[in-house]
Amino acid sequence: MKNQRSVHLSALAPALLALAILAQAALVPEARAIYSWFQEGEDALLSGRYQEAVTAFTRSIEVGEDSKAYYNRGIAYRRLGNDKAALADYTRAAALAPGFADAYNNRATIYLGQGLYAEAMSDCLRALASKPDHKNALNQLAWLYATAPEDKLRDGKKALVYARRAVSLSRGEDPGTLDTQAAAHAELGQFKEALATGEKALRLLKSQGGEGAEEYEARLALYRKGLPVRLASEGASETPGRHPVQDAVPALPPGRETPSREETADQGPEAVARPLTLQTGAFQNKALAEKRREELKAKGFAAWLSTRMDSQGKAWHIVNVGHYDNMIQAKAAYEAFTEKTGLASIIRKSGGTPAPPR
């Protein structure tokens, strides 16, 4: 009987193998379609063609659901101003990949802007449960603990703990995390410390271009009066407030099968061959941009400058780091750069339109 079973199984083996091969062959076109549409969506997202990105990621999802496709489509929707659709996509991405910290953080940012502070706090905590050193989630959570309008949501001690961790991760070189720490001090009634930290944040912000300085100054005025910062119930600060920025680095395609296809811009031979770079500062003052570039070179980074005109005809001097062949390399460089310097950066095309801001 044992020998008979062996014979029967041996006879079945070729048939089973043939079925497996046929099944795999049937799946290959589907996998290729998912990857192709994902790549088209990623290219459009990096180039700022957000509606095209939405269309491509939608087609990728129609072939087969993937958390990264939903996440990236959510970023595109955010750039188009469609927070409702972005919220749905971040929610689906988190459902498909429960440990997707960036999806929770990005959803928290939308909740924060809508005045849904308890929901935002819950999502920040979910992000940190998956990734304890997620700087943006730490910063958002600290901001909420320090400034939420409802007494039951605020906790100055927790705000200070989370804010200090975010400052530490940014090595004290991110004005946004220092600004949040100042708000935490104010919530605890430590207005001397709030002023000192807030003034440091403002100086650092101005050294990096100064965008948003009026908001920082408005909060400093509150601290001088012995008042903490409070968010309004409709989702905006009662002073000219800001919401800590979200992580919006596009996710990599499903798997790591091949590099991303990228259109290149004429930025010299190296840039043509290696189309992506990291942008880590935009300054109207060229001297400040040059200073940042030299500081980064001193730390061993291949920093370089480019110039871009905005819609009002103003020149912006962009500080960039490196040239990378594809999104896999660029995202690895982004993570290493953040770890070593604590500075904010975004992935963009060399000489092209920046990727969505983080």
The full set of domain ranges for the chain reads 1-98, 134-240, 269-349
| CA–CA separation, 97 and 158 (whole Å) | 28
Percent of the chain past pLDDT 90, that is, above it, reads 44
**Fold category of 269-349 in CATH:** Alpha-Beta Plaits (3.30.70)
Q: Which pLDDT tens digit goes with each residue over 38-86?
A: 878 887 887 788 999 999 999 989 988 889 999 999 999 999 999 999 9
* pLDDT score, position 103: 94
Task: Say how far residue 210 (Cα) sits from the centre of its chain.
Answer: 21
- Asked if domains 134-240 and 269-349 share a fold, the reply is no
* pLDDT score, position 256: 31
* pLDDT score, position 26: 46
* pLDDT score, position 313: 62
Kind and range of the H or E run holding 26: helix 2-46
* pLDDT score, position 276: 82
CATH class, 1-98 region? mainly alpha
**What separation in angstroms does the CA of 128 have from each of 107, 306, 337?**
13, 36, 21
* pLDDT score, position 350: 66
3-state secondary structure of 341: helix
Q: Which pLDDT tens digit goes with each residue over 102-147?
A: 999 999 999 999 999 999 999 999 999 999 999 999 999 999 999 9
The DSSP string of 184-202 is HHHHTT-HHHHHHHHHHHH
* pLDDT score, position 277: 85
Tokens of 123: 């999502």
Residues 6+ away with beta carbon under 8 Å from 257 = 35
Shortest CA distance to 66 belongs to which of 92, 91, 40?
A: 92
Look-up of token digits 């992506």: 276
The residues of the chain scoring below 70 in pLDDT are 1-35, 233-274, 309-314, 350-358
Contact assessment for residue 233 and residue 338, using Cβ atoms and an 8 Å cutoff = no
Question: How does DSSP classify residue 148?
Answer: -
* pLDDT score, position 125: 97
**Domain 134-240 sits in CATH 3.90.550.10:** no
**Phi, psi angles (nearest 5°) of residue 124:** -60, -40
| CA–CA separation, 163 and 230 (whole Å) | 16
* pLDDT score, position 162: 97
Q: How many beta carbons lie within 10 A of that of residue 323, not counting itself?
A: 22
Contact assessment for residue 106 and residue 90, using Cβ atoms and an 8 Å cutoff = yes
Contact assessment for residue 244 and residue 136, using Cβ atoms and an 8 Å cutoff = yes
